[in-house]
Amino acid sequence: MKLVSAIIKPFKLDDVRQGLSEIGVQGMTVTETKGFGRQKGHTELYRGAEYVIDFLPKIKIEVAVDDDQLNAVIESISKSANTSKIGDGKIFVYDLEQVIRIRTGETGSEAI
């Protein structure tokens, strides 16, 4: 089992959710977050004063999947979140040792 964590632009959330639903992903966790990468933020003008915005708004999506779904999930997120512009985000993949559904006590793949 794997945990796929993706950092994307906020306006791409619905596209990513729809793409994952189409390939059979049943659940995900979404967190509003802030950060920066190579783009290092930007400057904005507000009432004539210039402000540096270091941390840009992002969305973090976490999805637990079986190993056989991993490539389809990565491809779906990459395709759905892509704008071909800087700041599109990143996808991280972690090994999951164990998953337990609290309500039923199911473990492993059945708990996903």
The yes-or-no verdict on residue 99 having pLDDT over 70 is yes
| Selection from 36, 45, 42 nearest residue 9 by Cα | 36
Predicted pLDDT of residue 26 = 87
- 3-state SS track over 38-58: CCCCEEEEECCEEEEECCEEE
Predicted pLDDT of residue 44 = 64
Q: How far apart are CA 112 and CA 99, in angstroms?
A: 7
Strand (E) or helix (H) holding 73: helix 70-81
- Domain 2-111: which topology? Alpha-Beta Plaits (3.30.70)
Q: Are 39 and 56 in contact (CB under 8 A)?
A: yes
Strand 89-95 and strand 29-35: the pairing is unpaired
The yes-or-no verdict on residue 42 having pLDDT over 70 is no
| pTM of the predicted model over 0.95 | no
